[in-house]
Structure 1
């Protein structure tokens, strides 16, 4: 492709992830961004399925029943001549490992805070991942139509807890039931809103500024006076916003709104296009940036998913294009296997729905059929694979043995274990010293076990028994250290055949290390 045309396509793209503590309104904001982008007609519904009330990105049965996101999804839509790749991440902390990996595929983070709760535990963890990855973060303070903290207290909390300057680009008129609109500090224009029924969008209307007499005529005098005093204080006292400081991760621009009522969404989306970087700055291990135009095609696998659609029953590897142009049927070198692979079946996803993709550009997220060839972290490239930063791997903290209730279902049980373990949400081990030979599954949280069992039932027609084990810590060891191990250790191998030790407590692990200093314990298998 002509470099000038490719550069234009790169500059049109914005690839971002939404992060939040559970119940902060992440899924609702996701839906409303899709609504304003014209990707859906009614929040919570896909165009072709108007009776579907669940969020577009939450496609698994458990997600629909519980109203939570437990699996990342990629959604692409266009807005004002831009192509937006939205990565909707799990909100539940038990699935944070999936979220961390998905954040590696994003160029920008949108942090959603509940106006009544402020910065919460999961927000802190996810913010740290974004900061470590160098992802600039915008903040959307949601649920302004409900009881809230003081706005200045919220800004101060962001700065003190997260260690980043919080600079408002808009300011609310009223809070709770008195929340009427937001004031753009740059435009010096007030956007007023009416509640919108049934999730349909309704345009805001503008008035000339904070001193417009319309405010005095239509709103409570105390609310208007407090609003004007706040604006004066902000304009005189708060540090001005500088885009480069945002891109460098030194500050976060702050917006206010109510996603459920469409308050502040359109203004946020318009500002997002100007603020969020195009996918032209992906960092490499040596500190340099990957040039997406001058470099040949490259991409990395950040997610693997089985059985996204029961009609297809296939496995999908989600890849983020990092440079060059993807064309369906392209032949690329698989870096881990060191052999060429043909990428013939490629799709863009919108929840469960899929469309064939013939061409994709840096920043785009596409899915390719995975016959068992692709694993999380694999790099695909036409030339030499770029030295991309590795995806994070986390040692599991809870363990259990898993067995099949019906021996006639063993074939489906083994297939389900293999395919679901590929997704990287659970760690699969085979014990060398523990129990009766049943496979051991390791997880970050108990809900992962619930989901794993439920998916084995729903997708593979297999009923299972789960028996908790007392272990809380796992560490990997090299083959050269196996002979040095004492006989009383709990030894297992992971799904790739790499040896690991299981410990009941952190104290046990430290005691082992103290008594066996010559055995090197690794936090994740990539270090072996």
Structure 2
């Protein structure tokens, strides 16, 4: 059989997943570098021999062609969980529909945590599977709040496609832009769904324009709404030229009728717009467009699929999940336009061959390779979610934990449905499942031992806020047990003990993030805690170049310590090297510093970065260039050069006019227009910079950049200033220098704190 017959359909629609620049970067949980690979790369010797050894049979190809792995992502309160609830109902996974904030106090299926149902928000991503027609779907419902962004990161890392839900009134909001960035990071194609078409002020035309301008993604509607706001009745499918209505008590009966007479011209115009947008991103439609030939429905549909999978285009659908309209058409679009596991290209690193890049072969008859992307504690122990990328996983088999080198037995294999589970005997390539009793961390790779390879892990953002945490009952063993569990489950939740104050410090992505964990400790572990004042993740940085020439000399009888280092330190431009917080450069020539001591010099530099002298926070954005030095044949050692470099760095940093940096957040406030003045005033009072103000119908959206240190307690102020009608979201943007008076206050407070401890 020719190799081309066995290749997954790649072409322009293939995406490249899991290609880090270095394996250690993956193990550090930083963003993997993914670059499009030429199709010729698939013809490498190792890949072709692997495929040729065991070609997939027709049943395997049929299974994979009828499999979709999708996520539901959006800004908070756009209706993700409500959409997911309808999907589960129409696919027969649940028998009744329950709302996120329903009066029956049951709550949505995917929001199974008590805290989620109380607050009406999604805190943890929840996985389920369903069947639509003859296609199987693995679905992950993700949180919309920026504080739980890691849940979106790890979901998109293992998914092949996504549904981007947008509100028909609010449109593209701050977290929508974040989700878009995450989708691009992991090369995930998306179908866009404009939800809440029944809401007052619904305007799908404006939302499509926002997708094009704010998200920089070519988009066009596949549907025309029949009415809007309170008279929203259904949609007209542009390709089939049929009106789609949802009948029945819960919209379970889908009726296809002729297009209403007053919409015929509008549907024709929408089809022409779809053709023109596709002509810019798809060669086949582009040629027809130039020839002034109208494409057929089949040609348009195929072009939509090609462009969507290639991430050059997003088809836009619309409906109202709360009114049970448009969900079945969305499911049809997911099946029609989202890629199969064969159409997504993933890569891994061959650890036995100098970390050479290997292509994942998404067939069950290959050696097993899987990625653990999420951990969760349940009553049966630790639950480990795994995406099977290659091969199959069978109950009772042994798996090889790549990071630790240990063998683990797969004693129980389950498919998840929210917090309930179904036992299965085996899962094939492309599937998502969960294991019990496996000791691992999020982002670990498992194999069957036949391959020594590693998948890249997901990007983990740095925490921006900290709290001191003290248990009321200091003898309770559950305190450390809870913190250890939460750290394992959530890579953005960090815990450390302050060396000076001996306090337990927890760090996370926001106030809500940490509040949730404190509340979970009380409910799940019966541990009441007292929290201290939030601590902001300040940083220290240099502003100019500073030279050093330091000699470390110590004589205590016998062999002493001697090391001399000469060079300079300078700030790194964050615009040029955003991913590089520090750099050590060795320019020593002539062997003045023996090569075996260079690593010790770098360690001394790293030691100096851990704590600045102004307020004791880490130092960032520094480059240390080592130019010269001297060594002693007897007294020099690794310790001597490490201490010499550490002290040299401290002296040079003091001379570099250092400054304190603070996290600046992008804050987006939505409120009725009557309270616009109050909103602007409150942001100005907190030293925020107004970036944009948009007035839409009867409400306004204010975007500003505000120092995180000034945002504490803002939710209370906003509620009181808008009669409870205002809401805001906050996302980390960058670290920026504090004002001189603020820097003096911070230094003074730090000196006072040190004096009190003496």
Report the Cα distance in structure 1 between the residues aligned to 2:582 and 2:156, rounded to whole angstroms: 25
For the pair 1:129 / 2:199, whether they are aligned, the reply is no
| TM-score normalised per structure 1 | 0.84
For the pair 1:98 / 2:124, whether they are aligned, the reply is no
Structure 1 residue 180 displacement after superposition: 1.5
| TM-score normalised per structure 2 | 0.59
Question: More relative contact order in 1 or in 2 (CA 8 Å, sep 6+)?
Answer: 1
**Partner of residue 361 from structure 2, selected from 291, 313, 321:** 291
Report the Cα distance in structure 1 between the residues aligned to 2:418 and 2:607, rounded to whole angstroms: 50
Instruction: Please give the per-residue CA displacement for 1:96-139, whole angstroms capped at 9, x wherever unaligned.
Output: 01211111011001000000111111011011111121111000
1:141-156 matched pairs, under 5 angstroms: 141-156=194-209
The gaps in structure 1 that reach 5 residues or longer are: 217-223, 492-500, 520-528
1:67-466 matched pairs, under 5 angstroms: 67-194=120-247, 197=249, 200-208=250-258, 210=259, 215=260, 224=262, 227-238=263-274, 239=276, 240=278, 241=300, 242=303, 243-280=305-342, 281-284=344-347, 289-293=359-363, 295-307=366-378, 312-370=379-437, 373-382=439-448, 383-409=450-476, 411-431=477-497, 433-436=499-502, 438-466=503-531
Report the Cα distance in structure 2 between the residues aligned to 1:14 and 1:502, rounded to whole angstroms: 51
Partner in structure 1 of residue 688 of structure 2: none
The structure with the larger Rg is 2
**Partner of residue 18 from structure 1, selected from 72, 78, 92:** 72
Per the alignment, do residues 449 and 33 of structure 1 end up closer, same or farther by CA in structure 2, a change over 3 Å counting?
Answer: same
Partner in structure 2 of residue 44 of structure 1: 98
Is the partner of 1:407 in helix, strand or coil? coil
Is the CA contact 1:473–1:509 (under 8 Å) kept in the aligned structure 2?
Answer: no
Aligned residue pairs: how many?
A: 481
Is the partner of 1:341 in helix, strand or coil? strand
Instruction: Please give the per-residue CA displacement for 1:320-342, whole angstroms capped at 9, x wherever unaligned.
Output: 11111111112111110012211
Is the partner of 1:230 in helix, strand or coil? helix
Instruction: Please give the per-residue CA displacement for 1:229-260, whole angstroms capped at 9, x wherever unaligned.
Output: 42232223332451211101000011010111
Structure 1 residue 458 displacement after superposition: 1.4
Is the partner of 1:260 in helix, strand or coil? coil
Per the alignment, do residues 287 and 249 of structure 1 end up closer, same or farther by CA in structure 2, a change over 3 Å counting?
Answer: farther
Report the Cα distance in structure 2 between the residues aligned to 1:174 and 1:447, rounded to whole angstroms: 38
Per the alignment, do residues 347 and 193 of structure 1 end up closer, same or farther by CA in structure 2, a change over 3 Å counting?
Answer: closer
Structure 1 residue 192 displacement after superposition: 2.5
Is the CA contact 2:73–2:163 (under 8 Å) kept in the aligned structure 1?
Answer: yes
Structure 1 residue 289 displacement after superposition: 4.2
Report the Cα distance in structure 2 between the residues aligned to 1:182 and 1:126, rounded to whole angstroms: 27
Report the Cα distance in structure 2 between the residues aligned to 1:473 and 1:379, rounded to whole angstroms: 34
Report the Cα distance in structure 1 between the residues aligned to 2:456 and 2:475, rounded to whole angstroms: 44
The gaps in structure 2 that reach 5 residues or longer are: 1-53, 279-299, 349-355, 540-580, 585-598, 626-647, 654-758
Report the Cα distance in structure 2 between the residues aligned to 1:404 and 1:340, rounded to whole angstroms: 38
Is the CA contact 1:37–1:78 (under 8 Å) kept in the aligned structure 2?
Answer: yes
Structure 1 residue 76 displacement after superposition: 1.1
Is the partner of 2:143 in helix, strand or coil? coil
Report the Cα distance in structure 2 between the residues aligned to 1:54 and 1:384, rounded to whole angstroms: 44
Is the partner of 2:371 in helix, strand or coil? strand
Is the CA contact 2:362–2:430 (under 8 Å) kept in the aligned structure 1?
Answer: no
Report the Cα distance in structure 2 between the residues aligned to 1:255 and 1:374, rounded to whole angstroms: 40
Is the CA contact 1:345–1:368 (under 8 Å) kept in the aligned structure 2?
Answer: yes
Is the CA contact 1:398–1:473 (under 8 Å) kept in the aligned structure 2?
Answer: no
Is the CA contact 1:425–1:448 (under 8 Å) kept in the aligned structure 2?
Answer: no
